[in-house]
Amino acid sequence: METFMALLRGINVSGQKKIKMADLKLALTEGGLSNVQTYIQSGNITFESEVQERADQERKIQKVILEEFGFEVPVLVLTSEQIESILSANPFKSEEEKSLYFVLLKTAPQSELVYEFNQQKFANEDFHITERCVYLCCKAGYGKAKLSNNLVERKLKVEATTRNLKTMMKLLEMTKV
């Protein structure tokens, strides 16, 4: 069995799509995932599965959430190797940890859209786009950033979910246990 991470988008934000992590853990375990663990309330999950296809795992998790909690949630499943690769390729490693964010992309954006997005400039913010991640350096913090998950999704026309460096590191640590 391999360990994976599932990142849910848009749960427990401003009272919307509320899911208690203990209930989610139970539902996913009953849905067939093994060794399910959650981290904080924003939809970070590690689990083990014999199913190797990420798309199959994403559909399975979405189905469990829809059946158990009554709403649809975008899900992105990654391996620890993918997270390690994303972290090691971070072009902003020398910046303060609190300013680093990772917009994880479900699919690779079209090159024309990447080119257009790369023409954008944002005060106190910098970014670098790859096929799997938009690296963000938000010197004034993500809460005030113009470079939001919604902006990235809209401009690149892909599903995405954002995590800070601390969360990425914790999830990676959880897959090693």
Q: Specify the CATH number of the domain 86-176.
A: 3.30.70.1260
How do the pLDDT tens digits run along the chain, 177 residues long?
789 999 998 786 766 788 888 999 999 999 999 999 999 887 899 999 887 888 999 999 999 999 999 888 999 999 999 999 999 999 999 999 999 999 999 999 999 999 999 999 999 999 999 999 999 999 988 988 999 999 999 999 999 999 999 999 999 999 886
Write down the pLDDT at residue 17: 81
Annotate 59-75 with DSSP letters as a single string.
Answer: HHHHHHHHHHHSS---E
Q: Fold identical between 2-80 and 86-176?
A: yes
Parse the chain into domains and list their residue ranges. Answer: 2-80, 86-176
**pTM (two decimals):** 0.92
CATH number for domain 2-80, candidates 3.30.70.1280, 3.30.565.10, 3.40.50.1100, 2.60.120.260 = 3.30.70.1280
Range list of β-strands (E), the chain: 2-8, 34-39, 44-49, 75-79, 100-105, 125-129, 133-138, 160-164
